[in-house]
Amino acid sequence: MSRPVGLIVGTGVDSIQLLSDARRSTVTTPFGEVDYVRGTMDAAEVCILKRHGEGHVVPPHLINYRANIMALYMLGVRNVVTTSAVGSLKESLCPGSYALIQGFLDFTKARAQTFFGVGRVVHTDMTHPYSAAITDVLVTEMSRLGLLVHTGEVYVAAEGPRFESPQEVRMYAMMGGSVVGMTGVPEVTLAREAGLEYQTLGIITNYAAGISASPLTHKEVLDAMNAASTSLIEVLKASLPKVALLPTATDEDQRPLDFLINP
């Protein structure tokens, strides 16, 4: 039986235009209610969450990441693609191109980081937090569409909502970071805890502070996302039906969060 694909969209992405027969609904998780849109994309069932809420009202440090990942888990999703506006830490990663992520550096400070609390000690491996299988699908489709995509990149998760200082940007780059954003962690680590296959499609909207010649504004990010919207929609429409066909584990070991649903 095929499972729905999860799509978490960030800044500048309209979920409704991606789907036919889109219908809105709400799922109640142990961490709160989550609104989502469900519909089909070339016969594939897709569940879409807006990371920042309808109207982009929730800042990065206040997003209910646990509720979002738990919602997808409860909806039967096992493969997840996300979109994320990111700043470039390297001159070679130019605005307007795309980045697929292989690893992360976590500089967040005040977020709920795990599903596991007192009485349930679980240490989740993070050697490969991003799905190689989903990456292969995205690379194939983006190459077919003639888009510039960088692979094997390292996502630096900053707390936000402020932008990073030039000194922080230099440090992140020295530590091996490729792009910087404010939402990738704990989203990826929670997905790993949930046993989900996960990959972030980073849209490089700008050079980070100190690399860019001018101060960064949120309008610049939104303008860059608007410019990329057509190609991004093409990528998602081409890729998600193929991601839906990827094999998923079915044994009970891949249901690690059921204890939260039926305590």
Q: Residue 113: give its domain's CATH number.
A: 3.40.50.1580
For residues 64-73, give the mean pLDDT. Answer: 98
Total structural domains within the chain: 1
- pLDDT higher than 60, residue 1: no
Q: Is 252 exposed, middle or buried (0-12, 13-18, 19+ CB in 10 A)?
A: exposed
Averaged pLDDT, 57-81: 97
Query: Which pLDDT value is given to residue 132?
Result: 97
Assess if residue 253 is contained within a domain: no
The answer to which of 75-79, 136-140, 252-256 has the lowest mean pLDDT is 252-256
Helix ranges (H only) for the chain are: 65-74, 132-144, 166-174, 184-193, 218-243, 258-261
pLDDT tens-digit series, residues 188-215: 999 999 999 999 999 999 999 999 777 8
Encode pLDDT of 141-195 as tens digits.
Answer: 999 999 999 999 999 999 999 999 999 999 999 999 999 999 999 999 999 999 9
Residues 178-191: b if buried by 16+ CB within 10 A, e if exposed: bbbbbbbbbbbbbb
- Segment 211-228 shows an average pLDDT of 77
Contact between 246 and 198 under an 8 Å Cβ cutoff? The reply is no
Q: Is 201 inside a domain boundary?
A: yes
105 found inside a domain: yes
CA dihedral 140→146→150→151, nearest 10 degrees, is 10
Assigned domain for 256 exists = no
Residue 83 covered by a domain: yes
Task: Please say if the pLDDT value at position 252 is more than 90.
Answer: no
Enclosing domain of residue 102: 5-248
Residue 132 lies in a domain: yes
What share of the chain has pLDDT > 70, as a percent? 94
The per-residue pLDDT of the chain, averaged, comes to 91
| pLDDT tier, 216 (very low <50, low <70, confident <90, very high otherwise) | confident
Bridge partner residues of 44 (DSSP): 41
Judged against a pLDDT cut of 60, whether residue 138 lies above it is answered with yes
Residue 91 included in any domain:
yes
Q: Does the pLDDT value for residue 46 go beyond 60? A: yes
CA 50, 229, 85, 134 torsion-angle sign = positive
pLDDT tens digit sequence for 2-43: 789 999 998 667 655 678 888 999 999 999 999 999 999 988
pLDDT for the residue 21: 87
> Would 255 be classed as within a structural domain?
no
pLDDT score at 249: 62
pLDDT at 54: 86
Give the per-residue SS3 of 168-223.
HHHHHHHCCCCEEECCHHHHHHHHHHCCCEEEEEEEEEEECCCCCCCCCCHHHHHH
